[in-house]
Amino acid sequence: MMSFDDIQIVSLSRINLDEETYRITTDRQKNDISLSISCVGMINPPILLPRDGAYIIVCGFRRVLAAAQLRWTDLPAKVLDSNISHLACIQLAIADNAGQRPLNPVEASRAINLLISSISDSKELIRISNALGLPVNDRLIEKMVPVCQLSLEIQEGILSNDISLSVALMLAAFDPNTAKMFATLFNRLKISLSKQREIITLMQEISLREDRSILSVLKDEAIQSALNDSNLDRARKTDMIRTYLKRKRFPAITQAKTAYEILLKSLQLGHTAKLIPPPDFEGTHYTLNLSFSNPHDLKKHIKTIDRLLSHPDFCNLIDSTK
């Protein structure tokens, strides 16, 4: 059990607000608690640690900042013994946060990294994490460690649910500028996990195919123009960017699709015949769908088939998708 000195009244000017070693929470909003504190006071005083003639915050960052916003000159606080261990302070900080609500991925990463700084044994790390309200295992710890080291843009994307955790970890493998541009793209488009992965994969493949950096692909005028067009909604921007990337990645398929559309116009099949291409034009299995209501209509389709077989561009279209 950790013991505290009695609650003391501490001058706000003696609290180092820039020292955030033990900060877990990502929430920096003060207004939501400042109103409560102004009405009923500091029900749960922050926990401070004496250091170099001043104090640093172990628990209660938002409470201290709210008091500062309210222009308090001093506040009640629980003051730790200056000889308390670093690990004990870490445990207090994690327990204070995890005891109030489930930690988000960035907060959990901060907590795990703090524990790793003082605990080298993996079994002991898991035991203490679980005891503090962090349900982790070896695999999850490995996955969570780099999260709090990602760029601010990626962390914000995780917190807003615009970037999935798995995609965020994919972005960690890129150079900082590339990762930042991806994060900006995903934060603005607000697209699904599958589309995020698709865009990353397409850009990687275009980069290899055209022997240029992924960052230069991200900066392509077509992508940036669509992204910054204020007349387009997010869905339309996403469609335009995905279409552009697919055309760049699969030029042969794009050519086949264009040829198919030209062929359809020249065939003038009408409403009773439909030529259906293979999915994404990847294959040679086309489907001809004919609808009729009597034998006479069916005989008319013989001419439709003959017209299709005799069209000079039809065989070329089939060959182009092989």
The third-level CATH classification (topology) of the domain covering 1-84 is 3.90.1530
Q: What angle do helix axes 193-210 and 234-249 make, rounded to 10 degrees?
A: 30
Model confidence pLDDT, tens digit, residues 73-121: 999 999 999 899 999 999 999 999 988 888 999 999 999 999 999 999 9
Q: Is the pLDDT of residue 63 over 60?
A: yes
Q: Is the pLDDT of residue 182 over 60?
A: yes
- Taking alpha carbons only, the member of 246, 238, 264, 164 closest to residue 205 is 246
**What is the DSSP pairing of strand 74-79 with strand 47-51?**
parallel
Structure tokens that stand for 61 in this block? 């960052």
DSSP structure string for 242-255: HHHHHHHH-HHHHH
Task: Provide the residue ranges of all domains of the chain, joining segments of one domain with +.
Answer: 1-84, 103-149, 151-249, 255-320
Prediction pTM value: 0.69
Across the range 176-187, mean pLDDT stands at 94
Residue 318 DSSP label: H
Is pLDDT of 4 > 70? no
Give the residue-averaged pLDDT of 274-296: 79
What pLDDT score was predicted for residue 320?
A: 57
- Please report the pLDDT score of residue 43 as a whole number: 87
Length of the chain (residues): 322
The H-or-E segment that residue 159 falls in is helix 152-159
Rounded mean pLDDT of 240-256?
A: 81
Instruction: Give the lowest-confidence range in 2-6, 156-160, 233-237.
Output: 2-6
pLDDT for position 45:
93
Confidence of residue 54 (pLDDT cuts 50, 70, 90): very high
pLDDT of residue 317: 65
152-160 contacts: CB < 8 A, separation 24 or more?
Answer: 153/179, 153/180, 153/183, 153/184, 153/187, 154/179, 154/180, 154/183, 155/26, 155/106, 156/183, 156/187, 157/183, 157/186, 157/187, 158/104, 158/105, 158/106, 159/26, 159/104, 159/106, 160/187
Residue 273 has phi, psi (to 5 degrees) of -135, 140
Cβ atoms of 119 and 139 within 8 Å: the answer is no
Residue type, 5: D
Burial of residue 318 (number of CB atoms within 10 Å: 0-12, 13-18, 19+): middle
Tokens of 173: 């493998």
Q: What is the pLDDT of residue 321?
A: 53
Is residue 50 within a helix (H) or strand (E), and if so which, with residue range?
strand 47-51
Question: Which percentage of the chain shows pLDDT scores above 90?
Answer: 56
Range scoring the smallest mean pLDDT among 111-115, 179-183, 281-285 = 281-285
Structure tokens that stand for 217 in this block: 């692909």
Instruction: Determine the average pLDDT of the residues in 33-43.
Output: 85
Q: What is the torsional sign of CA 85, 88, 93, 96? A: negative
Give the chain's mean pLDDT. 87
